[in-house]
Structure 1
């Protein structure tokens, strides 16, 4: 798990919408893009941050970079193409199965 600077953690707790996050991190955005892809953008930013090595402190610029990358993903693409959520991956025929669910069939 990555750690967060205390002052940044307090600031982030006050943010409620995708627009709040984009404004806070000073990322210019098209409201029409955010209106359609707000949850996808936030989830993709979370995924980018989660991919960082465990124990890495997260600073303002880390969050800003992840959110900017996520926003740009959806500026050039859409939710169906990006497949951020499981429902879109399943619709594309991509499924994940827990390793514990794999085994021999019982008769």
Structure 2
């Protein structure tokens, strides 16, 4: 499926944020928000999609909004997060700190003293 929003199903909007807080799997989020997804995309990027959704939700202000508006925004954030990973790899998106800090284009930092494997294997007399 290339467009998860065109296949959206109706959802129960009552107390949606509280219900989302209680979910444990990526599939639960998609089911609760009525969004169809490609299992191949989800299998590769499930944690990245949910982390990105959380980042998008953190930008929202839900105070005083009716449940139907909150549900629509939550659905929109999940659709947006999912679309980020439909054509891009988790490595290219760098959602998690460990991926942000590791850039394959940059050489590794030198940290303290380095002893080569060969030097460690030499007998003490040769050193």
- Using the size of structure 2 for normalisation, the TM-score is 0.61
Counterparts of residues 1-107 of structure 1 (less than 5 Å):
7-53=15-61, 55=63, 57=65, 59-92=70-103
Alpha carbons of 1:8 and 1:53: their partners in 2 closer, same or farther (altered >3 Å)?
Answer: closer
The gaps in structure 1 that reach 5 residues or longer are: 94-107
Structure with max Cα Rg: 2
The gaps in structure 2 that reach 5 residues or longer are: 1-12, 107-127
Query: Could you say what secondary structure the match of 1:59 adopts?
Result: helix
Distance 2:54 2:81 in 1: 9
Greater relative contact order structure (CA < 8 Å, 6+ sep): 1
The answer on whether the counterparts of 2:94 and 2:100 sit within 8 Å (CA) in structure 1 is yes
- Over the residues paired in the alignment, what is the CA RMSD in angstroms? 2.3
Distance 1:12 1:42 in 2: 11
* Count of aligned positions: 89
Distance 1:64 1:10 in 2: 14
